[in-house]
Structure 1
Amino acid sequence: MPGWNREVNQTTIDGVPVIWAEAPGPIRATLMFRVGRVDERLPWSGITHLVEHLALFQLGPRQTYEFNGAVTSNRTMFYATGQPADIVAFMAHVTAALSGLPFDRLDSEKSVLLAEASSRPVSPADLMFNLRFGARGNGLYRYKEFGLYHLTQPWVAAWAARGFSRENAVLWMSAPPPADLHLALPAGQRMPEVPAIPIELRLPAYVKAPVGGAGVSMLAPRSTPLAMASGIASDRLLKRLRYDKGIAYSVGGGYFPIDSMQAHVSLWTDAQPGHAATVLNDTVQSVYAMGTAGPSAEELAEQAGNFERSLERDEAVLAWLDRTAVRILNGEPAQHPDELRAEMQAVTPATARDAMAQAVRSAIYVGPGDVPSPPAIPAYVAPNPPPVQGEPHPHVQSRLWRHPPVLLVGGDGVTLTINADDKITVYFESCEAMLQYGDGGILLVGADGAELPVNPDEWLGGPLVVQQIVQRLPATLALPLPGETTVTAIKVPPPKARGGLAIAGIPIDRWIGLFVFVAVAVALLGFAIYGSRTSLGSTPPLVSLVVWAALGYRLLRRFRF
């Protein structure tokens, strides 16, 4: 921006780091904490969002200044825009509220957040994170905020004390801090980083999903060459799809540092009806070309020039302040814009190519259900751990299958075998949550995202089976959902359609087979009785009866009588 010397000032107020640089207009201020969704676990997900809502509630819907709050993957922010007195008042309220949340509003704010969630669909980014990270960390975005169903006051208060301390905070402002600004936060500790650990997958891979466009998710080491290569790949894809072909409107995603070592790179594109396959294939070609041929020197120079020009915009100082605050929260050294510019100017086509090549090897491509896999890209295969060894529980209608489904419950987990090729296993040690429904059923969610429903109506001794599983899991994993019912895991096959006559719903060929079996059995019985009196025959009659009975049992099972 004109007048900004590209320097960021830093001070400390009440033990909280404060950074600032002057910008035109009203003061913008953001108090952020190093706590977010990745710090939660599935049973109490949503707890950070709940704290954020409670902290802002007493400000009401109207103030003379703008304010709000937000929770991202690894931080929570409270921000306001106004005059110096407004900022002082806002920060005083937020810090006081975080030290003493209005718990009389606990149930009401839970309801508000559940209503908010009901209108928020699962985004492509949520889906891609879940496919890569399962039911932990960034993968949590695909799930409901289950903590809102059962969290109690002590639990929420403890989370607020842990995540919202002065050691875990930083404030940035677009003006020097007012002399009467105070940040009365309790003492605590910096939240440790949660490393982004992907589940074990064979990649690259392609996933069909209920989406309207197509995209790609990649994971690779953080670097300036990767960030620049990603931006150029996005620019190329937008030009091809929107300006050359006219079949898409925008390309979203980008380069996102996901922890101190790794970055998530994504491209997501909408698509006109009937053009999703073209959009997907162009996406594949865009990232593949970047990882094989790399960008041109001119494209890299343009990226560096765009960054230099962005520093002249009025909002540049705000973006840089936010970036600097995030680095401080993450324990990274602050960076001067000139340092980043020098890094960008040092990137070569080869270093950008190599960075993207590493990312492409981890690619997960996503497209609509009617779009086949791109050439040379295999289908996504979810993790498939070996089945447990345990007690088998048959399906209540197992006679309908030649190889019926079975539920195995062992000392270390549960395996649901639907058929020879479709098995779901959740080990107790990697179980993230156990949803308990009003009909007595449960759903186990594994760390890899596997979901294993146990509906007591589907298995012989179902209620006892559920009880055995519940007893083997910690109570902290239980999520009571009394208003919901367990899904049906097994699709029962309809009776096979057969031509010809049927008696009592049984095809005539089965009746004929039964008649022949009975006739031979009666003849053998007579032979056994007569032969035992006259000593006819060389084979003992009772042995014949036993062999026929065994064969008959198999035949009856085969014909499902």
Structure 2
Amino acid sequence: MITRLEVDGVPALHAPADGPMHAGLVFRVGTADETLPLRGITRLIEHLVTGAPGSTGPEHTYFHTRGTPTEIADFLSGVCTALRNPSADRIAEARERMTAPRDRDPLPMWRYGARSYGVASYPEWALPGLTTDQVGDWIARWFTRANAALWVAGDEVPGGLSLDLADGTRQPAPRAVTVLPATPAWFTGPDGTAGWDTVVHRDAGAAVFATVLERRLQHELRDRAGVAEDARTEYEPRADGTARILALAEAVPGGQDGALGGLIDVLAELRAGRIDEDEVGTVVKHTGVGLRDAESRGARLPGQAFNLLAGRAVQTLDEALAEVRAVTAGDVAAVATAAYDAGLLMAPGTGGADWAGYTAAPTMSETVLDGRTHRGRGDRNLRLISGADGISVVEGDVVGTVRYDACAAVLAWPDGARQLIGEDAVMARVEPTLYRDAEQVVHDVDQWIPERLRIGMPPRDRDRIPQPRPATEREEEPVDTRRPLITLLVAGMATLFVVAGGLGVLTMMLTQGPSGGVLGDVGEYGLVASASVLFGTFTGRIALDSAVELRRQQHARNPARSD
């Protein structure tokens, strides 16, 4: 049975457990609280606690250990001590332990952009430049007594345990705002893995649905069709009352199309309500067994500590079992419908999923900002537009626009390159070597973007700096030399026709004379003659312009020729 108590002002949970005593200290801070210019700072602080096994997730960072009561008390007390006034040397040591790259989940970025939960999809660019002051400020805000919870699984709370933390303030859950204009949606992901995620209301029905989905995927994709080496789902409850469900199918070589199609089919079947009570009953039964086992080992305590920090009720085993047992096939079908409608599909390869009724997630901006246009050096399809509101980069039909007031970060290289990342995850890159007079744009970006959004990047080797393509490699715009020739021919014929007509009119005037009054017939002849002259002048100009255009195109195709 779980007991609530308090240790040094930190809310705590205690429950007896089989096996060795274990305990953990959790803080309500994770990657979803970071910004791109501070990406990685929470994990850096986790590593500041020397030798401490920790974990940083989207909403929580915790330190966990097992051992004797004395060992646990020393460990947790040491965690709190290590968080006090970290030195620059300790920060440098912690940074050295974080050099290994981490696998990143691309789905959050496509759903949330470059904010909140989407930040976890990005590299930890800012990590080398994080300062002692930034680390200290982050600790002072997030790693405090008011923003922490403790759990202890064992006979008793260890004596001598001291949690010497600053007071602080309880921090709310991250705010999740999607950037997807429509769902269900899809985007092109890395080869080999078909993925899907959704966000639904957090309850037992959603947890059961996630398990039903996993069982169905394993049966259909791995065991039956043989297109996936593995298929799994994850259920991630969130502090705001929602839950993320993630499904991944690792395709066998050559089987990624089959894995994607199988995933789509399974989701469609569940949405159509093809779920029977026996299937749900089996999952409910196994879930109950898992809950009892977790209770005996104290494994339910971390989740209940997370609930404490979210202001949610601590749930007893009986309450959890009753909630799961009440789930029906109809409940799971309702979750399946909501999950499908909010789904985001990661399609490996280039096939996409429009054929299945999914909408392609936006890959570029819809608008081009007003401003000064900087043409690409030797590339007509490349333009950089810089204005007071932001910049747009246009390459053919692809547009990347980042407004200054919606910029999540700017990567800044010593050679002058700048890459702006919008809150919607769209990027606009300024490479001074590729545009005319782009140095002014770099100056404007540095003036408009606040220093707190700037991420300094390491110098690039010369061969990594893009250069305009040589003239021999540029794609020449096709030139239709027939058009000016045809235009010239038509205009010439029209001119001859008009001259001939004018001469005919003049002949008539001289040979026939006026027959109906001087002003009448002469006026008509005069109008005809005048029209002929004007039309001849007009067509003559067309002929001249056509000749000039033909000459210009010939010169463009042979620039070495001189006039």
Give me the whole-angstrom Cα distance separating, in 1, the residues matched to 2:241 and 2:303: 16
Determine the structure 1 residue equivalent to 2:32: 38
Which structure 2 residues correspond to residues 177-196 of structure 1 after superposition, within 5 A?
Answer: 177-196=157-176
Q: Is the 8 A contact 1:196 1:258 kept in 2?
A: no
Give me the whole-angstrom Cα distance separating, in 2, the residues matched to 1:473 and 1:8: 50
Give me the whole-angstrom Cα distance separating, in 1, the residues matched to 2:359 and 2:227: 25
Determine the structure 1 residue equivalent to 2:54: 69
Which residue of 330, 337, 342 maps to 1:357? 337
Structure showing greater radius of gyration is: 2
Which residue of 345, 351, 355 maps to 1:375? 355
Which residue of 269, 274, 288 maps to 1:308? 288
SS in 2 for 1:131: helix
Give me the whole-angstrom Cα distance separating, in 2, the residues matched to 1:544 and 1:508: 21
Which structure 2 residues correspond to residues 514-529 of structure 1 after superposition, within 5 A?
Answer: none
Structure 1 residues 143 and 352: CA distance shift in structure 2, 3 A: same
TM-score (norm 1): 0.83
Pairing 1:144–2:127 present: no
Which residue of 269, 289, 293 maps to 2:249? 269
Pairing 1:84–2:65 present: no
Deviations 1:149-207 (A, max 9, x none): 21111111111111111101111111211221111111101112112211133222332
Which residue of 127, 137, 141 maps to 1:158? 137
| Deviation at residue 108 of structure 1 after TM alignment | 3.4
Deviations 1:69-111 (A, max 9, x none): 1211111111111111111111121111112223322233324
Determine the structure 2 residue equivalent to 1:431: 407
| Deviation at residue 546 of structure 1 after TM alignment | 8.1
The AA in structure 2 aligned to 1:428 is Y
Q: Is the 8 A contact 1:294 1:352 kept in 2?
A: no
Q: Is the 8 A contact 2:77 2:162 kept in 1?
A: yes
How many pairs are equivalent?
507
TM-score (norm 2): 0.83
Determine the structure 1 residue equivalent to 2:109: 130
Pairing 1:22–2:16 present: yes
| Deviation at residue 474 of structure 1 after TM alignment | 1.0
Determine the structure 1 residue equivalent to 2:268: 288
Give me the whole-angstrom Cα distance separating, in 1, the residues matched to 2:467 and 2:67: 55
The AA in structure 2 aligned to 1:30 is G
SS in 1 for 2:373: strand
Determine the structure 2 residue equivalent to 1:530: none
| Deviation at residue 405 of structure 1 after TM alignment | 2.5
Pairing 1:391–2:372 present: yes
The AA in structure 1 aligned to 2:293 is R
SS in 1 for 2:200: strand
Determine the structure 2 residue equivalent to 1:444: 420
Which residue of 142, 152, 171 maps to 1:173? 152
Pairing 1:470–2:450 present: no
Give me the whole-angstrom Cα distance separating, in 2, the residues matched to 1:481 and 1:182: 41
Determine the structure 2 residue equivalent to 1:529: none
Give me the whole-angstrom Cα distance separating, in 2, the residues matched to 1:492 and 1:238: 52
Deviations 1:270-319 (A, max 9, x none): 11112211211111111221122142111222222112212343675432
The AA in structure 2 aligned to 1:208 is T
Q: Which moved further from structure 2: 210-219 or 126-135?
A: 210-219
Structure 1 residues 466 and 187: CA distance shift in structure 2, 3 A: same
Give me the whole-angstrom Cα distance separating, in 2, the residues matched to 1:40 and 1:194: 10
In structure 1, stretches of 5+ residues that fail to align are 1-6, 60-66, 499-505, 521-536
The AA in structure 2 aligned to 1:271 is A
Give me the whole-angstrom Cα distance separating, in 2, the residues matched to 1:557 and 1:150: 54
| Deviation at residue 558 of structure 1 after TM alignment | 4.9
SS in 1 for 2:210: helix
Structure 1 residues 393 and 94: CA distance shift in structure 2, 3 A: same
Q: Is the 8 A contact 2:18 2:296 kept in 1?
A: no
Give me the whole-angstrom Cα distance separating, in 1, the residues matched to 2:86 and 2:550: 71
Q: Is the 8 A contact 2:193 2:250 kept in 1?
A: yes
Determine the structure 1 residue equivalent to 2:389: 412
Which structure 2 residues correspond to residues 431-510 of structure 1 after superposition, within 5 A?
Answer: 431-484=407-460, 488=466, 494-495=473-474
Which structure 2 residues correspond to residues 108-123 of structure 1 after superposition, within 5 A?
Answer: 108-113=93-98, 115-117=99-101, 120-122=102-104
Structure 1 residues 377 and 554: CA distance shift in structure 2, 3 A: farther
Give me the whole-angstrom Cα distance separating, in 2, the residues matched to 1:311 and 1:170: 22
- What is the identity percentage for the equivalent residue pairs of Structure 1 and Structure 2? 27
Q: Is the 8 A contact 2:113 2:425 kept in 1?
A: yes
SS in 2 for 1:109: helix
Give me the whole-angstrom Cα distance separating, in 2, the residues matched to 1:405 and 1:187: 54
| Deviation at residue 224 of structure 1 after TM alignment | 2.2
In structure 2, stretches of 5+ residues that fail to align are 493-531, 558-563
SS in 1 for 2:216: helix
Structure 1 residues 136 and 484: CA distance shift in structure 2, 3 A: farther
| Deviation at residue 508 of structure 1 after TM alignment | 13
Give me the whole-angstrom Cα distance separating, in 2, the residues matched to 1:339 and 1:507: 77
Let me know the Cα RMSD of the aligned residues.
3.1
Which residue of 199, 202, 206 maps to 1:219? 199
